[in-house]
Structures are given as C-alpha cells and as structure tokens.
C-alpha cells in the first residue's frame, strides 16, 4: 500500500527516526539510571552527576513526546524538576526518581 498523505508519510518517517535515535535515548537512560542507582545506594549524589542527570532528563522530556511517548515526557520532566533541586536530595525523592525511572523504562519498552 502506498503512503499518500503527508501525515502518513511523516508518521512513517518518524518511526524510522525513532529507531535511528534509540541509541541516543539509551545513552541518556543509562546516565539517569547510573545517577539514580548511586543516589539510592549512597543517599548522596555528586553535584556534577546530578547536573548531568538533570540535563539528560531535560533532553528526554523534550524529545520523547514527539516520538509518541507523552507519558515518557511527563516522567522525564518530573525527574528533571527533582534533579534540579538545590538542596540535597532526600530518600523520599530518591525513591520517587527510582519509581519514575522504572515506569519510564516500561513506557519505552512498549
């Protein structure tokens, strides 16, 4: 079946771009996972690691929705807001980050 409408063509090309950009998304997820793992394990997060994690959460928030993952954008945005806090992160915040990250993994696996 041929693709006839601009919308259908765009949707098809978006799927191709998503697959092409998956490695970048996985890299960002790995940075987030590593930071959250360190926070949960040690209850502290080095400032430079927290900044990096906030930056990748920001990038994920800005891109996942355009690939059809609006919940992914929501979760990444919530993580970004917590990671941008100036005060040391609490165990409660660490647990929230872990829960949101797990949900994000599930969302992206669909």
Partner 1 sequence: MRKILIIDDEDDIREVAALSLEAVAGWKVVTANCGPEGIRMAAAEKPDAILLDVMMPEMDGPTTFKNLEANPATKDIPVLLLTAKVQGVDQRRFASLGVKAVLFKPFDPLTLSTEMAAVLGWTE
**Nearest in space to 81 (alpha carbons), one of 63, 54, 62, 50:** 54
Which of 35, 63, 78, 82: binder of partner 1 (CB under 8 A)? Answer: 63
* Stretch of 35-43, 67-75, 86-94, 102-110 contacting partner 1, by CB under 8 A: 67-75
Q: The tokens of 92 are what?
A: 């409660």
CB of 10 to partner 1, least distance (A): 5
SS3 letters for 19-82?
HHHHHHHHHHHHHHHHHHHHHHHHCCCCHHHHHHHHHHHHHHHHHHHHHCCHHHHHHHHHHHHH
Overall size of the chain counted in residues? 110
Does 77 engage in binding with partner 1 (CB under 8 A)?
Answer: yes
Query: Nearer to partner 1 by C-beta: 4 or 41?
Result: 4
Q: Which stretch binds partner 1 (CB under 8 A): 5-13, 33-41, 86-94, 96-104?
A: 5-13
Binding site for partner 1 (CB under 8 A): 6-7, 9-11, 13-14, 17, 20-21, 24, 58-59, 61-67, 70, 73, 77
């Amino acid at each position: 079946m041929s693709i006839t409408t601009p919308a259908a063509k765009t949707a098809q090309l978006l799927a191709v771009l998503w697959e092409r950009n998956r490695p970048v998304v996985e890299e960002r997820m790995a940075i987030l996972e590593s930071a959250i793992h360190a926070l949960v394990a040690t209850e502290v997060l080095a400032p430079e690691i927290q900044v990096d994690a906030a930056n990748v959460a920001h990038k994920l928030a800005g891109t996942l929705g355009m690939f059809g993952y609006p919940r992914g954008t929501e979760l990444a945005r919530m993580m970004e807001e917590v990671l941008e806090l100036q005060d040391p992160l609490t165990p409660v915040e660490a647990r929230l980050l872990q829960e949101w990250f797990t949900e994000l993994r599930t969302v992206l696996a669909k």
